[in-house]
Chain A
Amino acid sequence: EAGVAQSPRYKIIEKRQSVAFWCNPISGHATLYWYQQILGQGPKLLIQFQNNGVVDDSQLPKDRFSAERLKGVDSTLKIQPAKLEDSAVYLCASSLRGAGTRSYEQYFGPGTRLTVT
């Protein structure tokens, strides 16, 4: 079974530029998550989708970050404009969890390492 796919694996941009990350979850997984992992810290949830609806985006800096999952499968996370403090690894995860069901384990992709200069 294929795991969570993410691209690109690495990205270097200058501050104030924009960048987009793509994620394809494990087939059949209804729930998709984006996490930000700053060096030396644990991942922090940015946004959770269930199918194509947003469940939790309380920690997403909405002035510069946006995310979508239009058809309930792939997802894109965008940063515009980027700041130096956005340098981090952006992790996508997916789980089987459907509406109203118990929590399942989350499976993570390899991440996208973003460097903002």
Chain B
Amino acid sequence: AQKVTQAQTEISVVEKEDVTLDCVYETRDTTYYLFWYKQPPSGELVFLIRRNSFDEQNEISGRYSWNFQKSTSSFNFTITASQVVDSAVYFCALGNSGGGADGLTFGKGTHLIIQP
């Protein structure tokens, strides 16, 4: 069975601070995909990144960066110089690859509050 754990239920930081959201996953598959989604107060899930299990390179996109470590089954997300607009619930998710079902298994989410 697949499982995603986001141990941080809520994080509150002051604007311009850096913040890291943790994600730990469990799967028996050798090929899989990891995702991060943002859910702002409006409720719509916004896709941020997809990473496959064979690519352990870290990725940076503007103020966002992701650290994938297969050895610890973690896929952490860092926001540098946080802004109030980053306030949202962030979900880490795990999906299968290859043919067949690829519905996502989500963690419970981390509510990020950026205070001005």
Task: Decide whether A and B assemble into one complex.
Answer: yes
Task: Indicate whether A111 reaches chain B with its CB closer than 8 angstroms.
Answer: yes
Which of these, A43, A99, A107, contacts B104 with CB under 8 Å? A43
Interface string of B58-72 (1 = CB under 8 A from A): 000000000000000
Q: A44-B106, A48-B103 are in contact. Are A103 and B97 (CB under 8 A)?
A: yes
Which chain B positions have C-beta within 8 A of A107? 47
CA distance A102 to B102 in the complex (A): 9
> A interface, how many residues as a size bin?
20 to 34
Which chain B positions have C-beta within 8 A of A55? 100-101
CA distance A42 to B44 in the complex (A): 13
Question: Is the beta-carbon distance between B43 and A111 smaller than 8 angstroms?
Answer: yes
Question: Is the beta-carbon distance between B47 and A105 smaller than 8 angstroms?
Answer: yes
Which of these, A41, A89, A100, contacts B43 with CB under 8 Å? A89
Q: Quick one: closest A residue to B46, CB to CB?
A: A108
Q: Quick one: closest A residue to B109, CB to CB?
A: A42
CA distance A100 to B99 in the complex (A): 4
Interface size on B, residues (CB 8 A): 29
Question: Is the beta-carbon distance between A103 and B45 smaller than 8 angstroms?
Answer: no
Question: Is the beta-carbon distance between A103 and B33 smaller than 8 angstroms?
Answer: yes
Q: Quick one: closest B residue to A34, CB to CB?
A: B103
Q: Distance (Å) between the CB of A89 and the closest chain B CB? A: 7
Q: Distance (Å) between the CB of A16 and the closest chain B CB? A: 27
Q: Which of B33, B42, B99 has the most CB of A within 10 A?
A: B99
Question: Is the beta-carbon distance between A102 and B91 smaller than 8 angstroms?
Answer: no
Q: Quick one: closest B residue to A33, CB to CB?
A: B103
Task: Indicate whether B82 reaches chain A with its CB closer than 8 angstroms.
Answer: no
Q: Distance (Å) between the CB of B112 and the closest chain A CB? A: 15
Q: A56-B103, A103-B33 are in contact. Are A41 and B108 (CB under 8 A)?
A: yes
Which chain A positions have C-beta within 8 A of B42? 110
Q: Which of A61-117 contact B (CB under 8 A)?
A: 89, 91, 93, 95, 97, 99-100, 102-111, 113
Q: Which of A40-62 contact B (CB under 8 A)?
A: 40-45, 48, 55-56
If A105-B50, A108-B44, A109-B44 are given as contacts, then 7 extra A-B residue pairs at C-beta distance below 8 Å, sorted by A number, are A55-B100, A55-B101, A56-B100, A91-B45, A102-B52, A105-B47, A110-B43
